[in-house]
Structure 1
Amino acid sequence: MLEDYYKLVYPYYQGAVEDDLYAAKWGMRIQFLDLNDEALSPFEGINFGIIGFKSDKGVYINHGRVGAVEGPEAIRPQLAKLPWHLGRHVRVFDVGNIDGPNRSLSQLQHSLAKAVKRMRELNIRPIVLGGGHGTAYGHYTGLKNSLPTNESLAVINFDAHFDLRPYDQTGPNSGTGFRQMFDDAQEEKRAFPYLVLGIQEHNNNLFLFDFVAKSEGIEFLTGLDMYKMGHENICQLVDRFLADKEKVYVTIDMDCFSFGVAPGVSAIQSLGVDPNVALIVLQHIVASGKLVGFDVVEVSPPHDIDFHTANLAATFIFYMTQIWSQIHHI
């Protein structure tokens, strides 16, 4: 049985199941699933699974603005009201949440990893709704554990921050997830291919830039780089990064974007990546056929304005799944 796992017990979108695909919305097509149902066997065809990670403990430890614990419940209704463009043969399951107010971030990350691995075993492609960026380590670990040991898992992070901070003093937090991944790779004597898109120099200290410069496999573009390069050159860089990688995990920290389009985040951003450029690059990554899971994190509803940030997160899911649904083998 999965720990810290709770299936959804009530629908979050008011509307009957709609069989007319010309009129259907996501909320009318989403089905609910209990991952602890031992009678389940792998589903056929193309299946997506939404799971929430209801924790922003790492944000609190990292002195950010708490509130991302409410992110999954804000993103779901925004996604539910979007029009259904995925056809009749694609299924989307909402499998519930990982939640544990009295549990440590490490415990919840471990629980998320087990749930993600369970989803992959059932032929369900994970879409995780954070939560703070502590979400990433649990999601990554679950994906890694679901792959053959000889397959490399690259990481592409849309983020204003490297999130490579040491955690020996504070324990894991929202700024340490990718350092945890790096340390796991070091311990296992394997590479950690990590590409960060959207770094803001004024949000990262020199220690982090020094760490990146000395660490093999880590690449990045600043937000200004992306502005100057344009989407075609960014996509070419992504292609080079993924050329020798079998699989990729994508994580989208909503603080990658300026507070003008994403005001409801744990750490507001005065500059930021153009979301249109980000979307083109995200769809390009999905089209590579190497994506095994993605998440959107750091949506903080108490700081949002008219659900702008939650809606943008839902919009990324809408467009990424359109491409992902056309990939038949992952």
Structure 2
Amino acid sequence: MLEDYYQLDRSYYHRGIDDNLYTAKWGMLIQFLDLNDPSLQPFEGTNFALVGFKSDKGVYINNGRVGAVEGPGAIRAQLAKLPWHLGEQVKVYDVGDIDGPNRSLEQLQASLAKVVKRLRDLNLQPIVLGGGHGTAYGHYQGLQASLEPNQQLAVINFDAHFDLRPYDQTGPNSGTGFRQMFDESLQRQQVFPYLILGIQEHNNNLFLFDFVARSKAIQFLTGTDMYKMGYQEICQVIDQFLEGQEHVYLTIDMDCFSAANAPGVSAIQSLGVDPNLALLVLQHIAASGKLRGFDVVEVSPPHDIDNHTANLAATLIFYLTQVLAQVG
């Protein structure tokens, strides 16, 4: 039995009845799975699985604005209203949540890793709904566990922060996940291929820039870099990063966008990546055919305005799944 795993209330999506795919919405066509069902067999074709990570304990430890624990529900509510463009062959399942108010962040991350591994074994592409960015470490562990021991998982992170902070004194939190991935790679005697897009200089101290400068295989573009470079040059950087990589994990921290576009996040931003540019870049990454899973994190509904942030997160999922469905 999977720990800290709970199926979703099926009435959540307020499902209507519409057999016409030309007028149907996501909330009408999303199906449900119990991952503890031992009779499940690997699915054929391209199919997606939504799973919520209902924890912002890492945000609290990192002195951020709590509230992202409510993120999965808010994103689902916005997804349910979007039109269905995936046809008859592609299925989207909602498998439920990882939840545990009295469990530690480390325990919940371990539980998420097992769920992600289970999804990959069932040939379902994980879409994890955070939660704080502590989501990332559990998602990464699950994807890495689904690979062969000698295979490496590359990471692309849309984020205003490096999230490479040391954790020897504070313990794991929302700002340490990628340092933990880095350390795990060292233990496997591998480099850690890590690309961060949207870094804001005023949100990262010199220790982190120095750590990145001394670390092999870590690359980044600031938000200002992306503004100056434009779509084509950014894609060249991504293509160079992806060269030689077979397996990629994509994580989208909604604080990579400014408060004008994403007011409901754990760490609000005055500057940020333009959502239209970000969408084009995300679609380019998805078109590589190398994504093994992605997540959207740090949506904090108590700080949102008219669901702007949750709606943007759902919209990114809408467009990414279209590309991934075409790639197969």
Fold shared, TM-score > 0.5 on shorter chain: yes
1:226 is matched with 226
1:32 is matched with 32
Letter in 1 for 2:221: L
Q: CA deviation at 1:191?
A: 1.0
1:274 is matched with 274
Q: Secondary structure at the match of 2:150?
A: coil
1:189 is matched with 189
1:203 is matched with 203
Letter in 1 for 2:123: N
Query: Map of 1:64-143 to 2, 5 A cutoff?
Result: 64-143=64-143
1:244 is matched with 244
Equivalenced residue count is: 328
Q: TM-score, normalised by structure 1?
A: 0.98
Q: CA deviation at 1:226?
A: 0.1
1:291 is matched with 291
Q: Secondary structure at the match of 2:168?
A: coil
Q: Secondary structure at the match of 1:299?
A: coil
Whole-angstrom distance in 1 between the partners of 2:289 and 2:18: 30
Q: CA deviation at 1:19?
A: 1.7
Q: CA deviation at 1:44?
A: 1.3
Q: Secondary structure at the match of 1:237?
A: helix
Letter in 2 for 1:171: G
Letter in 2 for 1:325: A
1:43 is matched with 43
Letter in 2 for 1:113: A
Q: CA deviation at 1:31?
A: 0.3
1:7 is matched with 7
Q: Secondary structure at the match of 1:94?
A: strand
1:300 aligns with 2:300: yes
Whole-angstrom distance in 2 between the partners of 1:38 and 1:260: 46
Q: Secondary structure at the match of 2:16?
A: coil
Whole-angstrom distance in 2 between the partners of 1:186 and 1:89: 41
Letter in 1 for 2:301: P
> Segments of 4+ in structure 1 off by > 4 A?
none
Unaligned runs of 5+ in 2: none
1:18 aligns with 2:13: no
Whole-angstrom distance in 2 between the partners of 1:212 and 1:27: 42
Unaligned runs of 5+ in 1: none
Q: CA deviation at 1:46?
A: 1.4
Provide Cα deviations, 1:195-235, integer angstroms capped at 9, x if missing partner: 00000000000000000000101000000000000011001
Q: Secondary structure at the match of 2:327?
A: coil
Letter in 2 for 1:284: H
Q: TM-score, normalised by structure 2?
A: 0.99
| Identity between Structure 1 and Structure 2 (%) | 75
